[in-house]
Homo-oligomer: A and B are copies of this chain.
Amino acid sequence: MTTKKTKTRKNDPGVRTKLFIAAETIGVGKINLLELVGECGSISEAARQMGMSYRRAWFLLDSMQSGFEQPLLITERGGAGRGGAVITPLAKELIRRYRGHAELVEKNSAEILSWMGAVQRTSIKVKGDS
């Protein structure tokens, strides 16, 4: 146990996958957002919970949508304030498939992650400190 602090990233090697579909990219951030919109039934509430602006969330969802022929979201104009949003079966299938794929990749990454753990720099320079 050390008292070292890093502002950048925690000290375990990791792996992430990004999918390319049509002219768009899909990574874990967009998938998490889409899932949260489904849980909240609202883009603004999902954005709030993820600590991002409504505008940013809308941009990410719109960019994801550009990859697909069919809709991922059905939005409803609400009476008071912003309307609700429902994710479609296509969105649910995307989330399920993305999670399954990420799990498969994780399983196949044990060897390289363990090697990286052995050779990585142990003293991390903290970026942003002056």
Contacts and interface: CB of A to CB of B under 8 A. Distances in A.
A101 B97 contact: no
Interface in A20-62: 20-23
Interface residues of A, number: 41
Given A97-B112, A105-B108, A115-B97, A121 B17 contact: no
A17 B17 contact: yes
A121 B101 CA distance: 21
A90 B108 CA distance: 21
Nearest to A119: B68
A124 B22 contact: yes
B18 A9 contact: no
A75 interface: no
Contact of A121 (B13, B69, B100, B122): B69
A14 interface: yes
Given A18-B18, A66-B121, 15 more contacts: A8-B23, A9-B23, A13-B21, A15-B18, A15-B19, A17-B17, A19-B116, A21-B120, A67-B116, A67-B121, A68-B119, A97-B111, A101-B111, A101-B112, A105-B105
